[in-house]
Amino acid sequence: MVAPSLSEMNDSYLEFIEKIKKEIQKQRVSVVMNANTSMIILYWNIGRAILKKQQEEGWGTKVIDRMSKDLKTAFPEMSGFSPRNIKYMRKFAQCWEDEKIVQRVVAQIPWRTNISLMDKLKTQEE
């Protein structure tokens, strides 16, 4: 059976399908935004864990290199675990100590934009 062409459908169907398409578009954006927020919070948590370990044990840069290798091995399908990006995670946690601000505001900003802001701005107020 072949689906009828759109021109053969009544106005009620055309309105119906438009509503469905708009809902799909809206939810696609929502999924992307939620995924971004989850990733930002994950990166902040990793950065916070690194800071805590460094305070406790005085870790050096080699630990970040080792961590990068171990995470890439454990999660080969994921990107974002380069030594450079892990250093940004640590810096991110240093810049934003308050988890509530991270969850409400900062997590709405894409990761690359957060990196750019960290590189360009000197203070949190900026």
Q: How far apart are the first and last CA of the chain?
A: 62
Summarised one tens digit per residue, pLDDT across range 9-42 is 888 999 999 999 999 999 999 999 899 999 999 9
Residue with the larger pLDDT of the pair 8 and 43: 43
Q: What are phi and psi for residue 75, nearest 5 degrees?
A: -130, 70
Summarised one tens digit per residue, pLDDT across range 48-107 is 999 998 888 877 668 899 999 999 999 999 999 999 999 999 999 999 988 888 888 888
Summarised one tens digit per residue, pLDDT across range 104-125 is 888 888 899 989 988 998 777 7
Residue with the larger pLDDT of the pair 3 and 23: 23
Distance between CA atoms of 68 and 87, rounded to whole angstroms? 10
Q: Tell which residue, 94, 92, 71, has the closest CA to residue 82.
A: 71
Element (H, E) at 49: helix 11-57
